[in-house]
Amino acid sequence: MNWGIIGTGNMGTVLLNALVDSHAVDQKNIYIHNRTLLKAYRLKETYPDVHILQTVDAMAASCDIIFICTKPKDIISVANRLNQKLSEDQLVVSITSSISLDHLSHILSCQTARLIPSITNSALRGKTLLTFNDSISDEMKYILWQTCKLFSTPVEISESRVRIASDLVSCGPAFVSYLLEELIEAATSEADIDKELATELVESMMIGYGELLKQDHFDLTSLKEKVMVKGGITGVGMKGLEQSVPAGFNEVFIKTHTKFNREKGHVDEWINQLI
């Protein structure tokens, strides 16, 4: 079975890394295409046996499963180009939350699915979010699910929950990184510690933190309670967080959902122009 990746930006590259490094797919069975071919050819420095294809039409002729890892408007354009070139035995997978399976079904007559990856998949960890509809066969659904299990923990997500789930799984690493960077900056401004050492301490703490969760020593609540000794310094610091952080996260989700709904509206318009 041959696998195709159209678009080798951040998420397309994450997907390539995960498929190859987990041994889910042999390099020789992966075909990639990027609008800027030089970016695709650079990946051959790391993965010399992958195939570079110069056209979307060639992807349709070569691959059984094709991931479209481009921006929403480009996904619609690529799907439209693939239409009439794919058989009902092939599968097209979008990795963008604002492109629903109904959107894809309006354009494509082949099988369709959505897979939202996370940068954590590059470490063969974390979740992948999968959405299916009636167009996908049980066999193809099984193949996609089992493949994702080799580099992640797949979770099936409904259309109504796809944005918030994406915020937590796909956007979450960026949000957490920002908070940790702010923690480091505050430490260097309020105490006698340089940024290099503060960063080293925080990164080491996060690795250990992840291991505690991975090994089921604690869940989030019990870990917090274990560290926050009654009447201790941690509890005093926590009050500062409780005064400033919660409203910020509400604002995060308001903004992501606003952009999501705006993008979905644009997608509806683009598809209507094609019909």
Architecture of domain 172-262: Orthogonal Bundle (1.10)
Q: Domains of the chain: which residue ranges?
A: 3-166, 172-262
* Residue 162 CB neighbour total at 10 angstroms: 19
- Beta-carbon contacts of residue 10 (< 8 Å; ≥ 6 apart): 119
pLDDT on residue 215: 95
State how far the Cα of 86 lies from the Cα of 78, in Å rounded to an integer. Answer: 12
Kindly state which CATH superfamily the domain 3-166 is placed in: NAD(P)-binding Rossmann-like Domain (3.40.50.720)
**Placement of tokens 């480091």 in the chain:** 184
What residue type is assigned to position 40 of the chain? A
pLDDT on residue 230: 78
First-last CA distance in the chain: 32
Output the six-digit token pair for 224: 């917090």
Q: What is the pLDDT of residues 126-179, one digit of tens each?
A: 999 999 999 999 999 999 999 999 999 999 999 999 999 999 999 999 999 999
pLDDT on residue 271: 82
With b meaning 16 or more CB within 10 Å and e meaning fewer, what string describes 16-41? bbbbbbbebbeeebbbbbbeeeeebe
> Residue 49 phi/psi, 5° resolution?
-95, 0
State how far the Cα of 155 lies from the Cα of 263, in Å rounded to an integer. Answer: 24
pLDDT on residue 275: 61
Give the residue ranges of the chain where pLDDT is below 70. Answer: 275
State how far the Cα of 46 lies from the Cα of 23, in Å rounded to an integer. Answer: 15
What is the chain's length? 275
